[in-house]
Amino acid sequence: MYQSAEASWAIETHGLSKAYGSVRVLDGLDLRVRRGSVFALLGPNGAGKTTTVRILATLTGADAGRATVAGHDVVAARSRVRRAISLTGQYAALDEEQTGRENLRMMARLRGHSRAAARRRAAELLARFALAEAGDRRVSAYSGGMRRRLDIAAGLVGDPEVVFLDEPTTGLDPRSRRTMWETVGSLTQAGVTVFLTTQYLEEADQLADQVAVLDDGRVIAQGTPEELKKTVTAQRLDLTMAGQQAYTELAGRLGGRVLHRVPEELVLGVATDGSAARIRALLDELDPGREHIARFALHSATLDDVFLELTHE
């Protein structure tokens, strides 16, 4: 029974700590990632997300604690971990003077494939990532989204068990980002475990089976996106103010009750249970003269709300 439970985890960390000089980046990090799932690690800049990925990918060592990836210790079995993983960062690591097909064939040859097997693998991956038509074009002519897809494809040449995606859609336009989401979804369908760091909360909401929020080097919340949303509030009432003065005054009165704010659109969001009675009571409380609130909209809580609440941003 114990071995069966252990085998269900693709990644486990226990008490990981890391400091750079006097700055503690990770402080006793504990994580568990189930095999074949998408796990999203969220946190403000400097929270330790990239450091976590670098430790798990054996690119840097922890000061304390231990971690296993695909069942292998990241220190004692570093070479086995590296054979079992793929790492894609924020910027595509490709040879821009080669074609997409040549990049994939080169990676396959470096993985030990024969020439014929490398050609077959390159063709398979180009088709899988909708790059077949662009396969014989130089990578320098690819769009940002195409490069990112090719970069992930290159990492899959060796059929990794675990794929690390460190902010993979940073800088992509919305259409390319959604194409990348479809790509990530196809990975888990093939049984691959995806460990994702992202600065886009919507991305984690769309993709992740489990989400962990990292702050000051510690996990401060973990669960499914829906579970985390319930820790903040079930609903959010967004109020569009009639003018800048009304926006400023209400924002000051609400203080810490504001869950969401968009100053350029004069919008303030507050918690509510979604019932008609509570919404009427809120409107009467916040704008008894019915002069300052121009309109309102009811929303389900988002991971943005969770993130802002938990990290106090």
What DSSP letter does each residue of 140-160 carry, written as one string? Answer: GGS-HHHHHHHHHHHHTTT--
Look up residue 15 and give its two tokens: 């008490």
* CATH 3.40.50.300 location in the chain: 2-223
Among 162-176, 188-202, 208-222, 226-240, the range of highest mean pLDDT: 208-222
Note the pLDDT of residue 1: 37
pLDDT above 60 for 6: no
Q: What is the pLDDT of residue 39?
A: 96
DSSP 272: E
Tokens 């350029």 sit at which residue?
Answer: 264
- What percent of the chain shows pLDDT beyond 70? 94
For residue range 142-193, list pLDDT tens digits in order.
Answer: 988 888 889 888 988 888 999 999 888 877 778 888 888 888 888 888 889 9
Say what the pLDDT of residue 312 is: 58
- Of 297, 282, 291, 245, give the one whose Cα is nearest residue 266: 245
| CATH 3.40.50 holds for 230-311 | no
Sole residue written with tokens 């704008």: 287
* Residue range(s) occupied by CATH 3.30.70 in the chain: 230-311
Q: What does the pLDDT average to over 124-151?
A: 91
Query: What is the arithmetic mean of pLDDT over 204-218?
Result: 90
- Residue 104 CA to residue 94 CA, distance in Å, equals 9
Question: Average pLDDT, whole number, for the chain?
Answer: 88
Q: In what order do the strands lie in the sheet with 218-223?
A: 85-88, 162-166, 193-197, 38-42, 210-215, 218-223
pLDDT higher than 50, residue 65: yes
Exposed e or buried b for every residue in 68-95, given b needs 16+ CB within 10 A? Answer: bbbbbebeebeebbbebbbbbbeebebe
Lowest mean pLDDT among 49-58, 105-114, 140-149: 140-149
Q: Report the pLDDT value the prediction gives residue 4, as an integer from 0 to 100.
A: 45
- Whether residue 215 contacts residue 277, with contact meaning beta carbons closer than 8 Å, is answered with no
For residue 8, pLDDT over 90 is answered with: no
The pLDDT of residue 3 is above 50: no
Does residue 199 or residue 33 have the better pLDDT?
Answer: 33
CATH: 3.40.50.300, 3.40.50.720, 1.10.10.10, 3.40.228.10. Which one for 2-223? 3.40.50.300
Higher pLDDT, 99 or 301: 99
Give per-residue pLDDT as tens, 256-297: 888 788 999 999 988 887 789 989 999 999 999 999 999 999
